[in-house]
Amino acid sequence: VSLSGIFLAAGSGPLGDMRGTALALASGITYAAYILYLDKSGLKQMNFIKLCLYLSIVKTIIAGAYGLAAGRLSVQLNVFGLGMTVVMGILAVILAVILFQIGVCYTGAANAAVFSLLDPVTSLVLGCLWMGEQLTPGKGVGCLMILSGIFLTIKGERWNC
């Protein structure tokens, strides 16, 4: 239910951009593997800041290699752009990774994965509130399907299904 909702919430045409859909699916699979590995490997016991540093280094190397290979690496930023990069680095990278790792420690990988389904809903709501994006009927139905999937998962655990 939630996966169907995510595709609807994406809001593109009937099939959308297949390249974007494939990248989103690969991202979801990679993220699920990361959550499971974090929970089962003992990484969740690692110091949060240390793990965040290692992840940031790996992501920087991967993004830099891709940018170089694609010929799209640009580091020309004005003061505002540099400031926004620092803010996003703190909020989206450091704070998010640390809080997520703490969440996996307390709730486990399965619960963290279920609540990660709220990411597209949160993105759509914030996009509408802050960026003036339009909430189309398809996106609204997609959000409801995602929330329904979360609800069914939680209820299923309580009913021992």
User: Do 76 and 5 contact (CB within 8 A), yes or no?
Assistant: no
- Which residues are CB-neighbours of 113 under 8 A, at least 6 positions away? 32, 35
Cβ atoms of 104 and 39 closer than 8 Å: yes
**Does residue 159 surpass a pLDDT of 60?**
no
pLDDT confidence of residue 65: 93
pTM for this structure?
0.61
Model confidence pLDDT, tens digit, residues 36-74: 888 788 777 888 888 888 888 898 899 889 989 988 887
Q: Which residue in the block uniquely carries the two structure tokens 């709501």?
A: 125
Is the per-residue pLDDT at 139 higher than 60?
yes
| Residue range 68-117, pLDDT digits in tens | 998 888 778 889 988 888 888 888 777 887 888 888 888 888 788 787 87
